[in-house]
Amino acid sequence: MRRGLLVASVLVLLAFFLAARFPFERLLPALLASAQQATGAGIEVGDLGFGLGRGGPLVIASGVVIEWPGAQPIRLDDVKLRPAWSLAWLRGRPLWRLEVSGEPGSFRGEVGFDRVAGELEAIDVAALPWALLGSLPPLQGRISGLVDLARVDGAWAGSARFEGQPGSVDLAGLPVAIPYEAVAAQLQLASDRLSLSEARLEGPLVTASFEGTATATGDAFSSWPLDLEVEIEAVDPALRGYLGPLGIPVDPQGRARLQVTGSLSAPFLSGRDR
């Protein structure tokens, strides 16, 4: 009963502040300090306001710039944040409902110190802070999908699924970037491993499906050991000359099987028996 009265009191106060046009910009330094401590990023906000939506009171920000050391800044046009209706608050784990949109794409879902779950739409992969993982972006293009991650004992785990608009695979160890018209993948993240399943790439140079893992060793994502099996369904004749010297036979229909080991920064391709 006491908790219920506390929640009701907070809502009444928020409604009063809204009616009185409370100067929420005075709260901005404290909000930014908390966000910067949680993310490790520098955050600037052009304008801050307050409103009431279907889910209750929310903070509305525009002209938001987020920048991690060594990474390109992420610029967001609109950010809406409100408390999520969740029992996590009673466990001392605040959970927030977040909606962001801007040139890098948009996200709608729930975020917290140990939780990220929601929907991605037209996210520019290259705009993400890959420098934090010690890696260049493996894809050039935009993706949409779902993510559901939780942090347990200090390690993130969960799943993600995405589909991509036309773009390219651009790994340092490949002779050229591989363009694609469509890409889709299901990812499973554990404390020590990133698993890839149901992955498929369709493009003018190659159409293939693949599955496998990247093992989390070291700080740099680009150096994680790879173990991927690739089933090529069709390959452009221009790439056959590249696969042959690697001991990867391609049949007359353009089909081949190969294994990718090494790492993202230095992948090694070898043939497999059909």
The domain ranges of the chain are 20-113
Name the pLDDT band for 230 (thresholds 50, 70, 90).
Answer: very high
DSSP state of 181: S
Q: pTM for the whole thing?
A: 0.80
Nearest residue to 102 (alpha-carbon basis) of 136, 61, 141, 131: 61
Kindly give, in sequence order, each residue whose CB lies less than 8 Å from that of residue 38, ignoring residues fewer than 6 positions away.
113
Name the pLDDT band for 10 (thresholds 50, 70, 90).
Answer: low
CA R_g for the chain: 23
Tell me the pLDDT tens digit for each residue of 13-64.
Answer: 555 455 445 555 565 666 666 666 666 778 888 887 777 666 667 788 899 9
User: Tokens at residue 112, please?
Assistant: 């917290």
